[in-house]
Amino acid sequence: MDVYGPDEAEAYVRSRLRGDGMDHLLGDRVSALAGALGRLPLALSHAAAFLINEELTCTAYLARYADRRTHLEQILPESADTEGYGYRITAALLLSLDAVEAADPAGYVVTVLRANTGALVDHANDHLWQPDAHQTLSRAGTSLIDAGLSSAATAFWQDTTRDSERLLGSDHPDTLTIRANLAVALSLEDRAEEALAIEEEVLAVRERVLGKDHPDTLLSRSNLAVIYRDAGRVTEAVPLMECVVADSRRILGDEHPCTLADRGNLAIVLRKTGRITEAIALAEQVLADREQFRSNPQDILNTRISLAISYQQAGRTTEALALEERVLADSRQPTADSRQLLGEDHPATLTARGNVVSSPLALGRPEEAAQIEEGLLADRLCVSGENHPHTLIARASLAASYQRAGRLAEAIALQEDVVAANERLLPADDPDVFPISATSRFPTEWPTAPPRP
């Protein structure tokens, strides 16, 4: 790997900080910082970004870097750093990852670091698996899932599964966790049958190795019920989720986050089977409990979304609209550390914006719905691209709103675009080709609580 010369490395750091008006962070330790990082461009790039984002002096950074380096030397032997630069890049990377994950809950900036984490995995070879799977692997994969990057998460967990089975064995607890994470990623990609096959195998092994009451076994049963639900097998999902809720209460207690998540998932399954009154009662109680127990803000948002869906299906449109608007406002609301909870482009925020549309339409306000959907379509195009199913759904939904607002020429043009896209992307007899007619409307894209990694 190429390195900067001493003057070049110091000039790079000074230029980066001065360009962002952060001269006051330089001090007299710039040369020491560059030397500690081996004057490696990648490590210096991570360090400069960290200094700027965290407004940390070079002296303070060196202290944190030394702590990270010491920790890495404890978990990775010297043979893992045959080229002589791995520790430096890895320590700088992990410091950046800590900061970015704190500053970017939605995970989009984190994805920039995923490639570097992949380089770390390749560089360290099998040493990240001694004696067990290192936490860096889990953090890399789960952050992809949390960011909604399901394809990238699937690829990551497939590779990690192969390594874990080779190095730790198929029955090792870490291997089972990794395979369960792969099932989650596949489910989020709508590859339900593949996800089911993996989760059923993981559950069988966990019941045999860990016992039926082990928390990991309970999590597998919960995830399996959610995947059944998302695969349309709700008659199998309901009894399994009811048992999971009973076991979660018994083993973990009513206030445990997993118990609350399981109860929320049961409410969704009940709604999907038409038991709407029970679903609403349960979702209302889950929301009250989450607020009382100060659950994770994103979990509270998800529960509100689920309850809003049930309100709308029960014809309680005014209540649904009020809750949807609160969800949308909260998804953009700064948290206690002055950062957005999810961000404008997070999949959950985009879904919430789509959900808000249904209630204005039900109340006879199509122009208001169209205005919301125009912004949503623009963002879907930026985030997902013009051929993604979510973008096609947004385009067709906007066409329906235009039609209801009497803007027929615009509605027809959009509908023709959607039909052409479907015919281009899918065979004519494919069951997933969207049926569009002059009066049809795409089903609203309601989010459901995903399996838990």
Domain membership of residue 153 (yes or no) is no
CA atoms within a 13 Å half-sphere pointing along the CA-CB vector of 180: 27
Q: The domain spanning residue 438 has which CATH number?
A: 1.25.40.10
- Asked if 229 and 265 count as a contact pair (C-beta separation under 8 A), the reply is yes
Residue 22 lies in domain: 1-103
The whole-number pLDDT of residue 82 equals 38
Residue 26 forms part of a structural domain: yes
Mean pLDDT of 345-365: 67
- The more confidently predicted of residues 212 and 112 is 212
Task: Indicate the SS3 state at residue 340.
Answer: strand
Question: Does residue 116 contact residue 42 with C-beta atoms inside 8 Å?
Answer: yes
Q: How many CB atoms lie within 10 A of CB 56?
A: 19
309 is written with which tokens? 């869906």
Long-range Cβ contact pairs of 412-420 (< 8 A, separation 24 or more): 418/392
Q: Which two tokens stand for residue 158?
A: 């497939």
Burial (Cβ within 10 Å: 0-12, 13-18, ≥19) of residue 191: middle
- Residue 311: inside a domain: no
Q: Which of 40-49, 244-253, 336-345, 393-402 is predicted least confidently?
A: 336-345
- The answer as to whether 240 is a domain residue is no
Are 284 and 270 in contact by the 8 Å Cβ rule? The answer is: no
Residue 413 lies inside a defined structural domain of this protein: yes
Task: Express each pLDDT in 305-343 by its tens digit.
Answer: 889 889 988 988 888 878 877 876 765 554 433 234 555
Helix-helix angle 276-292:257-272, to 10 degrees = 160
| Among candidate residues 74, 103, 132, the one where a domain is terminated | 103
**Nearest residue to 10 via CA among 91, 29, 20, 23:** 29
Asked if 452 contacts 219 with a C-beta cutoff of 8 angstroms, the reply is: yes
pTM: 0.61
Instruction: Give CA separation, 354 vs 157, 213, 351, 390, in Å.
Output: 30, 39, 5, 10
Q: Do the domain assignments include residue 114? A: no
pLDDT bucket at 291, cuts 50 / 70 / 90 = confident
User: Which of 84, 103, 122 is the C-terminal boundary of a domain?
Assistant: 103
Does residue 321 lie in a domain region?
no
Number of domains the chain contains: 2
The answer to the question of residue 164 being in a domain is: no
Which of 103, 121, 153 is where one domain is finished? 103
Whether pLDDT at 173 is above 50:
yes
| Spatial CB neighbours of 43, under 8 Å, sequence gap ≥ 6 | 37, 85, 88, 89, 91, 92, 93
296 to 190, 269, 307, 335: CA distances (angstroms): 26, 22, 17, 11
